[in-house]
Amino acid sequence: DTAVSQTPKYLVTQMGNDKSIKCEQNLGHDTMYWYKQDSKKFLKIMFSYNNKELIINETVPNRFSPKSPDKAHLNLHINSLELGDSAVYFCASSHPRDSLDTQYFGPGTRLTVL
Amino acid sequence: SQKIEQNSEALNIQEGKTATLTCNYTNYSPAYLQWYRQDPGRGPVFLLLIRENEKEKRKERLKVTFDTTLKQSLFHITASQPADSATYLCALETGANNLFFGTGTRLTVIP
């Protein structure tokens, strides 16, 4: 009965490669997010989608491209990976109308770029 | 732009005591503020939400206060237990569908 799931949990790759992280939520929420948590544990929003439409796109390099095939999925594709992309990436979802943006987070994907 | 400061990166307290964590913000007052718990290797988990017109909110051993004059929220855990050891994050709403998170305070409850 996993609420928000992400795959893979760990991702180790070489600089310059392209990789994707998948996220699915079974909570029936309208809004999904991607966050990046760096080595100092600062959790920063990257993107927000509501009903498959992009709402928030913070200052993120255009090498990062989110894709929402449907309301329950928000995938993150990263091109030309760089060392500085190493971090933990969290997917989250919320149902703003009912819960004032209370976020339900996935378990995270630890990305290591070598 | 909004800035959040959470008191000391790490806080150690004895089991049974009350832990008090602070969240100060610098700019406009948010309509509401949330507190999350994050354990190592896991995603944050929502604990409590407090609106700007609420002074205090309680849930079991947890209590949150919100002072818009001081631009501060306090998060209390009474009768603390080693199982309460975790990082606690405060988050402020910044507009539709957006939360701004603090860097968190790592709490260790010593048996």
Average pLDDT in the B68-96 region? 92
pLDDT of residue A96: 65
Long-range CB contacts (within 8 A, 24+) of B37-42: B37/B86, B37/B87, B37/B88, B37/B89, B38/B86, B38/B87, B38/B88, B38/B89, B38/B104, B39/B86, B39/B87, B41/A107, B41/A108, B42/A107, B42/A108
Which chain B residues contact residue A4 at CB under 8 A? Answer: 43
Q: What three-state secondary structure class fits A68?
A: strand
Binary contact (A92, B101; C-beta < 8 A)? no
Average pLDDT in the B14-25 region? 95
pLDDT of residue A41: 82
Query: Given CB atoms, is A90 within the 8 Å cutoff of chain B?
Result: yes
pLDDT of residue A98: 60
Letter string b/e over residues B76-96, b meaning 16 or more CB atoms within 10 A of that residue's CB: bbeebeeebbbbbbbbbbbee
Query: Is the pLDDT at B23 greater than 80, yes or no?
Result: yes
A7 pLDDT tier (thresholds 50, 70, 90): very high
% of chain A surpassing 90 pLDDT: 63
pLDDT digits (tens, 9 = 90+) for B86-110: 999 999 987 666 788 998 999 999 9
Which chain A residues contact residue B41 at CB under 8 A? Answer: 107-108
Query: Given CB atoms, is A92 within the 8 Å cutoff of chain B?
Result: yes
Cα–Cα distance between B83 and B107 in angstroms, integer? Answer: 10
pLDDT digits (tens, 9 = 90+) for B30-61: 888 999 999 999 999 999 999 888 989 999 99
pLDDT of residue B96: 61
Binary contact (B49, A100; C-beta < 8 A)? yes
